[in-house]
Amino acid sequence: MITAADADTFARCIHAHGVALFPADTVYGLACDPDAEAAVQRLYGLKGRRPDKPAAVLFFRRELALAALPELGRRTRAALERLLPGGVTVLLPNPTRRFPLACGPDPDTLGLRVPALADALAPLHAMAWPVLQTSANRAGEPAPRNVAGVPAAIRAGVDCVLDGGELPGTASTVVDLRAYEREGRWAVVRAGAVGAPALVRALDVEAP
């Protein structure tokens, strides 16, 4: 279980440009300040991730995510209000090229996460700033559902470890919404925690 003190330690780690291991609603992840280049490089190094591969930006409350992206169209914002929080990563158009370190070689696309934090993880809602986030596994290996499942080298290399107990263990579903505003078109890029029926209910609706 995460405590308020844990959440405060996590926030201080991120603000100090550290790298943290934390529980989301799906699997354990690595997090850092999305604008701190050295921290992003450290995170990628721990994971063994190619530097040209994009990551997601995670907000701990939906309203913070929507406020940070005022350029989103009405139709897309309504879809996000139906989808989030939840076990999805959405790919969004990024015309203002926000969070370039997370976007990698495609600055016009932003990956966004807002996890559904159950009671044991609810103190993380106090985190008011976004993080760059990716699963806490070595590239190509299974995503961990508990701290013990995180590779020892990653656990030793981070600055902060939050143990939220056992998680479901299925990574987020990645959904492409880049054509949703104009065309109502969407696609699943990676199957995961949220299944097709829930996506259809949230996304196959009339434009407002």
Looking up residue 73, the CATH number of its domain turns out to be: 3.90.870.10
Phi-psi region of 137 (alpha: psi -120 to 50; beta: other; left: phi over 0): beta
* Domain that includes residue 101, residue range: 4-203
Q: Is residue 27 part of a domain?
A: yes
Number of Cβ within 10 Å of residue 195's Cβ equals 12
Q: Is residue 48 part of a domain?
A: yes
pLDDT on residue 41: 96
pLDDT digits (tens, 9 = 90+) for 127-167: 999 999 999 999 889 999 999 999 999 999 999 999 999 99
Burial of 102 from C-beta contacts in 10 A (0-12 / 13-18 / 19+): buried
- The mean pLDDT of 15-42, rounded to a whole number, is 98
Q: Is residue 197 part of a domain?
A: yes
For residue 134, the SS3 value is strand
Q: Is residue 117 part of a domain?
A: yes
Q: How does the average pLDDT of the chain come out, rounded? A: 96
Q: Report the distance separating Cα 128 and Cα 140, nearest Å.
A: 31
Q: Is the dihedral of CA 95, 98, 103, 104 positive or negative?
A: positive
Tokens 């209910």, located at residue: 201
Least confident of 60-64, 93-97, 139-143, 169-173: 139-143
Q: Is residue 208 part of a domain?
A: no
User: How many domains would you assign to the chain?
Assistant: 1
Amino acid at 57: V
Number of Cβ within 10 Å of residue 99's Cβ equals 22
Phi-psi region of 29 (alpha: psi -120 to 50; beta: other; left: phi over 0): beta
Whole-number CA gyration radius for the chain: 16
Q: Is the pLDDT of residue 207 over 80?
A: no
pLDDT more than 70, % of the chain: 99
pLDDT-based confidence at residue 206 (cuts at 50, 70, 90)? confident
